[in-house]
């Protein structure tokens, strides 16, 4: 199949990013959204930071102090058998779960889509009690003169919610608040109204039955969402039998709305697939990947902060080419491309 990775991959790594605080280091830069702005290709990236730590028997986790607006560090005894450190992303304790890193959003800019200049300062920081553990995995939808950013807000108090912000210049950002309650994430808003309504893909999670499926919801104002329908689910015996979630914002083709999504196996191998939706009834599925469009193969995709992961939040479609910017091993950003005709053949 004709999918081509850049020979310069990974195109952005932790070494390219300045920490936001002197006491932090960059653990990963990944899961970015891409858009065109002022003649440039712009990435809005998730940057994950961890506290500097020279003590091997201590595990440090950062979180936002809402009262002061500053980060604080909690310490845990790494030798304590009651603490689960089996997942590099998490510290699980009898009293709650924490992230080992805290994420903010930062911008990178490019003329050719491969070589990027990265802003030295974050575009958006965690800001409130719903974002105590960070903000993650943005998607950008350009509607009229505004860019709408949906992103995951993570908190040990409230769980995972989805918030909405918007901007016209990528300098100032207006926060519109929470648009999907816990536990939900992976929200991508369609770039135009369909029959007079806005639509968004999202991924609610069931605590009781552990379902991780993609749903579609409808809105009149981008803030209040309803008419929720389950769109596609995990598939037993397939590459996406563990969990799935939307990846990039869907883009319009003559054949329908193309959505590049992620799926993982029960063994936490994350791959990328595609699903084609009806242009006027986006809750109706026309075709879906039987095999992955991309799976972890390269060293930078297999090994990293959390290995065996390819995960996209950003696709730029132009002149018949689907440009895919994806997170590799929760560590770096890479680039691949595929012709739309080859992608449609993949879905046959």
3-state DSSP assignment of residue 302: helix
Nearest CA-CA partner of 199 in 222, 178, 176? 222
What is the domain extent for residue 48? 3-346
Dig out the tokens for 202 from the structure: 């999202």
Q: What is the CATH number of the domain that holds 62?
A: 2.115.10.20
Give the count of domains, the chain. Answer: 1
Going residue by residue through the chain (348 aa), what tens digit of pLDDT does each one get? 589 999 999 999 999 999 999 999 999 999 999 999 999 999 999 999 999 999 989 999 999 999 999 999 999 999 999 999 999 999 999 988 999 999 999 999 999 999 999 999 999 999 999 999 999 999 999 999 999 999 999 999 999 999 999 999 999 999 999 999 999 999 999 999 999 999 999 999 998 988 899 999 999 999 999 999 999 999 999 999 999 999 999 999 999 999 999 999 999 999 999 999 999 999 999 999 999 999 999 999 999 999 999 999 999 999 999 999 999 999 999 999 999 999 999 998
239 φ, ψ to 5°? -70, -20
Report whether 141 contacts 200 (CB < 8 A): no
Dig out the tokens for 226 from the structure: 């309803």
Whether the model pTM is above 0.75? yes
């Amino acid at each position: 199949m004709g999918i081509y990775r850049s020979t310069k991959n990974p195109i952005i790594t932790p070494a390219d990013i300045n920490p936001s605080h002197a006491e932090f280091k960059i653990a990963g830069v990944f899961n970015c959204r891409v858009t065109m702005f002022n003649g440039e290709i712009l990435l809005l990236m998730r940057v994950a930071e961890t506290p500097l730590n020279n003590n091997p028997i201590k595990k440090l986790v950062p979180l936002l102090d809402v009262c002061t607006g500053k980060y604080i560090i909690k310490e845990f005894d790494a030798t304590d058998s009651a603490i689960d450190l089996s997942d590099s992303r998490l510290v699980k304790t009898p009293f709650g779960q924490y992230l080992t890193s805290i994420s903010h959003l930062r911008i990178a800019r490019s003329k050719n889509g491969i070589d990027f200049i990265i802003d030295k300062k974050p575009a958006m920081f965690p800001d409130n009690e719903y974002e105590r553990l960070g903000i993650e995995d943005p998607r950008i939808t350009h509607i009229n003169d505004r860019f709408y950013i949906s992103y995951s807000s993570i908190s040990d108090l409230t769980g995972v919610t989805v918030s909405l912000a918007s901007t016209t210049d990528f300098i100032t950002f207006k926060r519109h608040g929470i648009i999907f309650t816990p536990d939900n994430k992976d929200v991508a808003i369609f770039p135009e109204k369909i029959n007079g309504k806005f639509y968004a893909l999202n991924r609610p999670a069931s605590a009781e039955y552990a379902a991780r499926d993609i749903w579609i919801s409808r809105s009149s104002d981008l803030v209040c969402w309803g008419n929720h329908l389950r769109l596609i689910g995990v598939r037993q015996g397939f590459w996406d039998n563990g969990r799935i979630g939307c990846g990039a914002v869907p883009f319009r083709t003559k054949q329908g709305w193309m959505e590049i999504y992620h799926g993982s196996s029960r063994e936490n191998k994350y791959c990328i697939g595609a699903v084609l939706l009806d242009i006027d009834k986006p809750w109706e599925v026309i075709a879906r990947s039987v095999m992955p469009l991309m799976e972890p193969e390269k060293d930078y995709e297999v090994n990293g902060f959390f290995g065996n992961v390819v995960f996209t939040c950003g696709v730029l479609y132009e002149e018949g080419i689907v440009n895919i910017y994806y997170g590799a091993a929760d560590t770096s950003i890479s680039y691949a491309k595929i012709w739309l005709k080859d992608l449609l053949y993949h879905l046959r």
